[in-house]
Amino acid sequence: MRHLSYKTKFANKETHKAEWFVVDATNQTVGRLCTKLATVLRGKHKPTYTPHADAGDFVIVLNAEKVVFTGDKLNQKVYLDYSGYPGGQKEQTAKVLLGRHPERIVERAVKGMLPKNKLGRAMYKKLHVYTGDTHPHGAQKPTELK
């Protein structure tokens, strides 16, 4: 009997062709939306997913100010920031952050779902979040993410 050898193909910079997707965040729950975004950024939605390579796609999020929190998280969820100096810890509720910088809510949620290393930081750079329904990435011809 003849032995057949199959080699597993891993994605790398040369073989991977990144796509661009656009997502409308209107009336979408923050956590559920961001898990989908993190999956696409990592490339887990593709059969060529490779854990040690950046095989994900670019994602554009529109209408970040229209995301929704379930329950009373809008008033109870607290975002902490620390300057590094004594007494430099600042906290603000989701309601305040949504009013000031709505794109940061989506960015922070997705960043927390990506790997905490160089690869994760490279994946995070492929996320583009905007308030409103326009974006400057028309030349990349993004498609709607299902």
pLDDT at 98 over 70: yes
Return the H-helix or E-strand segment holding 92.
strand 89-93
Q: Is residue 86 part of a domain?
A: no
**Weakest mean pLDDT among 2-6, 44-48, 89-93, 139-143:** 2-6
Residues whose CB falls within 8 Å of the CB of residue 92, separated by 6 or more in sequence, listed in order? 78, 79, 81, 100
Give the structural domain span for 31: 20-69+102-132
Q: Residue 113's domain is classified under what CATH number?
A: 3.90.1180.10
Q: Is residue 51 part of a domain?
A: yes
Q: Is residue 110 part of a domain?
A: yes
Return the H-helix or E-strand segment holding 20.
strand 20-24
The tally of domains found in the chain comes to 1
Helices and strands, counts by H and E, the chain: 5, 6
Q: Is residue 141 part of a domain?
A: no
pLDDT tens for 10-60 read 888 888 899 999 999 999 999 999 999 999 999 999 988 999 999 999 999
Q: Is residue 41 part of a domain?
A: yes
Q: Residue 139 has what pLDDT?
A: 96
Phi, psi angles (nearest 5°) of residue 93: -75, 165
pLDDT at 6 over 70: yes
Q: Is residue 5 part of a domain?
A: no
Buried b vs exposed e over 25-39: b needs ≥16 C-beta within 10 Å? Answer: beebebeebbebbbe
Distance in angstroms (rounded) separating the CA atoms of residues 69 and 63: 15
Q: Is residue 53 part of a domain?
A: yes
| Mean pLDDT across 82-95 | 97
Indicate whether this model's pTM tops 0.95: no
Q: Is residue 35 part of a domain?
A: yes
Residues whose CB falls within 8 Å of the CB of residue 14, separated by 6 or more in sequence, listed in order? none
* Closest to 36 in 3D by CA, of 127, 132, 102, 141: 127
pLDDT tens for 101-134 read 999 999 999 999 999 999 999 999 999 999 999 9
